């Protein structure tokens, strides 16, 4: 019992917490200054060996040194030379909110298990829906990531448009279903479709144009192909923006196609929905207000710690159809709409973290302009970087960036295998621990891929990246 009492001792928590936050603040200072490695160069096998899995029976203390090791062996997203995947350098205050959410541990599913969490989630969801241009009937939920969000939205789409009650009767009770989506769609859409039991043919691919946007004049052909294959098409999934290149599908004309063919329009705005907050860039999302559902990740372009995703429905009643089953012990057997405050009826999660606090707090404490300014800053940076790469004879870009994702390759003269060179250069960059960027294949060619998501990445960092790539390629 003494051990348990000590483990819960508020004064120990206070003093440990002060040291803990001091350590995190030191990490933050060093990472923002760029004086830590971005990602330590260590292989999966090596690091697992170092960490071990033997635990003592008696208390040993040592949280401080453990946190230090965790920090040192992590990828440092606050480092301005982190330019890799679409996961942001979170606002430090949002991380503090996550700490409070963890300690309070209000599991949400039903109102009693998180009154404040429920209220803040309603406010955040309402705010997101208004930013998208949805009307007062809109509603939605927060959930754990874009993949779960896309599955949630597609489950609702299926219930609305399949023409039979798939939820109760099963997928075999009607014709096989399909959605149309471009060849640039994130893999989680294919995965969601296969989870729903539609098989690999459940996504009918629409080709993309030279800018990697869905070719909307090919939608009719894809629709007919699906029908020939015996598929009943329930909707179109548009990307805003796409993962590989940040391309925004033309939502207005996709919305027209959906209206004309009575299809559900789902917009995967995991990365790009945030752009509605930027006066200068929201034009890329014109037509999003006509979507039936939208997924919006706050851990990508809203500076939030992972994971927090809005799943937003133009007609809020649809949000009750994704998971239509009752759980009488939780939801008291009433019509789910009457218990709108028991949010677990509409999410894949039963127990769910208090996801809303960090967004609510950031909006309240910093105001909305911070986000618009941040978004514009990252996109401006990507455009300047693209211009710089275009000017350089030994670099080429895959496509003009529409947002803050930019793919490029190094093409020095006299190299026979340029694809291999990109892979080698990336590997060597990681070994130097000085930059973190990723790679992607586009139309048969290998590219280096950057997401300029850290608010403090500068032109000088990107100039240094070009210099470093040249140096490493020359010695490859
Ligand atoms: C367009 C798009 N949709 C969905 C996802 C998946 O989101 P999450 O990683 O939050 O599950 C991603 C992730 O990068 C994405 O880029």
344 and 400 housed in the same domain:
no
Q: With pLDDT > 90 as the criterion, what percentage of the chain qualifies?
A: 94
CA–centroid distance, 339 to ligand 1, in Å, is 30
Q: What is the pLDDT of residues 356-370, one digit of tens each?
A: 999 999 999 999 999
335 and 447 housed in the same domain:
no
Is the bond into 41 cis (omega within 30 degrees of 0)?
A: no
277 and 301 housed in the same domain:
yes
CA–centroid distance, 254 to ligand 1, in Å, is 21
**pTM of the entire predicted model:** 0.97
Give the model's pLDDT for residue 52: 86
Query: In total, how many domains does the chain have?
Result: 3
Assigned domain for 334 exists: yes
Residue 333 has pLDDT above 80, yes or no: no
Assigned domain for 83 exists: no
pLDDT band, residue 325 (cuts 50/70/90): low
312 and 418 housed in the same domain:
no
CA–centroid distance, 145 to ligand 1, in Å, is 7
350 and 428 housed in the same domain:
no
CA angle 326, 295, 328 (to 5 degrees): 10
Query: Which residues make Cβ contacts (< 8 Å) with residue 181, sequence separation at least 6?
Result: 189, 203, 204, 205, 206, 236, 237, 238, 239
CA–centroid distance, 295 to ligand 1, in Å, is 9
What residues are in contact with ligand 1 under a 6 Å CB criterion?
86, 145-147, 186, 188, 239, 243, 268, 270-271, 297, 307, 309
Query: How many angstroms separate the CA atoms of 203 and 221, rounded?
Result: 14
| Mean pLDDT of the region 125-148 | 98
Q: What is the pLDDT of residues 154-176, one digit of tens each?
A: 999 999 999 999 998 998 999 99
Assigned domain for 344 exists: yes
The answer to whether 310 and 295 have CB atoms below 8 angstroms apart is yes
Ligand 1 atom at shortest distance from the alpha carbon of 87: 14
Which residue among 320, 335, 366 closes a domain? Answer: 366
Pocket-testing residue among 87, 152, 188, ligand 1, by greatest number of atoms within 8 A of Cβ: 188
Q: What is the pLDDT of residues 7-38, one digit of tens each?
A: 999 999 999 999 999 999 999 999 999 999 99
Query: Atom 8 in ligand 1: which residue has the minimum CA distance?
Result: 146
Assigned domain for 256 exists: yes
| Mean pLDDT of the region 306-314 | 98
Which residue among 302, 332, 366 closes a domain? Answer: 366
347 and 436 housed in the same domain:
no
Q: What is the pLDDT of residues 40-86, one digit of tens each?
A: 999 999 999 999 889 999 988 899 999 999 999 999 999 999 999 99
Residue 254 has pLDDT above 90, yes or no: yes
* CATH code for the domain in which residue 436 is found: 3.90.1150.10
Pocket-testing residue among 84, 85, 86, ligand 1, by greatest number of atoms within 8 A of Cβ: 86
Assigned domain for 86 exists: no
Query: Atom 16 in ligand 1: which residue has the minimum CA distance?
Result: 243
Ligand 1 atom at shortest distance from the alpha carbon of 242: 1
414 and 451 housed in the same domain:
yes
Give the domain range for residue 227.
106-366
Q: What is the pLDDT of residues 99-135, one digit of tens each?
A: 999 999 999 999 999 999 999 999 999 999 999 999 9
* CATH code for the domain in which residue 256 is found: 3.40.640.10
Query: How many angstroms separate the CA atoms of 33 and 27, rounded?
Result: 10
Give the model's pLDDT for residue 73: 97
Assigned domain for 285 exists: yes
Give the model's pLDDT for residue 338: 80
395 and 322 housed in the same domain:
no
8 and 136 housed in the same domain:
no
pLDDT band, residue 1 (cuts 50/70/90): confident
Greater pLDDT, 339 or 240: 240
Q: What is the pLDDT of residues 341-350, one digit of tens each?
A: 999 999 999 9
Q: What is the pLDDT of residues 259-307, one digit of tens each?
A: 999 999 999 999 999 999 999 999 999 999 999 999 999 999 999 999 9
Pocket-testing residue among 147, 185, 308, ligand 1, by greatest number of atoms within 8 A of Cβ: 147
354 and 208 housed in the same domain:
yes
Give the model's pLDDT for residue 327: 58
294 and 170 housed in the same domain:
yes
276 and 296 housed in the same domain:
yes
Give the model's pLDDT for residue 206: 98
The answer to whether 293 and 312 have CB atoms below 8 angstroms apart is yes
Give the model's pLDDT for residue 335: 73
CA–centroid distance, 380 to ligand 1, in Å, is 23
Assigned domain for 101 exists: no
Query: Atom 5 in ligand 1: which residue has the minimum CA distance?
Result: 146
CA–centroid distance, 270 to ligand 1, in Å, is 6
Assigned domain for 18 exists: yes
């Amino acid at each position: 019992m003494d051990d348990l009492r000590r483990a819960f001792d508020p004064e120990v928590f206070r003093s440990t917490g002060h040291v803990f936050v001091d350590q995190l603040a030191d990490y933050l200072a060093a990472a923002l200054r760029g004086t830590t490695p971005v990602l330590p160069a260590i292989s999966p096998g090596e690091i697992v060996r170092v960490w071990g899995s033997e635990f003592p029976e008696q208390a040993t203390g040592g949280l401080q040194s453990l946190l230090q090791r965790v920090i040192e062996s992590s990828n440092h997203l606050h480092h301005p030379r982190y330019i890799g995947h679409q996961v942001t350098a979170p606002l430090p205050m949002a991380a503090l909110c996550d700490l409070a959410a963890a300690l309070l541990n209000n599991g949400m599913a039903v109102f009693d298990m998180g009154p404040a969490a429920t209220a803040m989630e309603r406010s955040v969801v309402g705010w997101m829906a208004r930013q998208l241009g949805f009307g007062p009937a809109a509603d939605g939920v927060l959930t754990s990531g874009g993949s779960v969000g896309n599955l949630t939205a597609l489950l609702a789409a299926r219930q609305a448009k399949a023409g039979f009650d798939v939820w109760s009767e099963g997928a075999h009770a009607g014709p096989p279903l399909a959605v149309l989506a471009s060849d640039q769609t994130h893999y989680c859409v294919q995965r969601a479709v296969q989870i729903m039991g539609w098989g690999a043919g459940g996504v009918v691919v629409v080709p993309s144009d030279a800018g990697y946007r869905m070719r909307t004049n090919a939608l009719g052909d894809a629709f007919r192909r699906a029908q020939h294959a015996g598929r009943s098409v329930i909707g179109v999934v548009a990307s805003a923006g796409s993962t590989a290149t940040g391309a925004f599908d033309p939502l207005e004309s996709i919305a027209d196609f959906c209206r004309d063919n009575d299809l559900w329009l789902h917009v995967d705005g995991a990365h790009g929905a945030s752009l509605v907050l930027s006066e200068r860039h929201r034009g890329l999302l014109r037509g999003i207000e006509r979507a039936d559902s939208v997924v919006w990740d706050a851990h990508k372009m809203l500076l939030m710690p992972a994971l927090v995703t809005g799943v937003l429905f133009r007609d809020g009643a649809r949000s009750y159809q994704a998971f239509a089953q009752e759980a009488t012990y939780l939801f008291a057997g009433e019509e789910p709409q009457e218990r709108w405050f028991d949010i677990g009826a509409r999410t894949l999660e039963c127990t769910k973290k208090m996801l809303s606090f960090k967004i609510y707090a950031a909006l309240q404490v910093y105001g909305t302009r911070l986000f618009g300014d941040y978004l514009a800053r990252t996109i401006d940076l990507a455009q300047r970087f693209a211009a710089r790469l275009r000017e350089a004879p030994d670099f080429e870009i895959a496509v003009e960036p529409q947002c803050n994702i930019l793919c490029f390759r190094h093409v020095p003269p006299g190299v026979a295998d340029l694809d291999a060179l990109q892979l080698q250069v990336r590997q060597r960059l990681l070994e130097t621990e000085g930059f973190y960027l990723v790679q992607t294949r586009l139309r048969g060619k290998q590219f280096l891929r950057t997401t300029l998501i850290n608010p403090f990445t500068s032109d000088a960092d990107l100039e240094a990246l070009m210099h470093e790539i040249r140096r490493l390629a020359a010695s490859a």
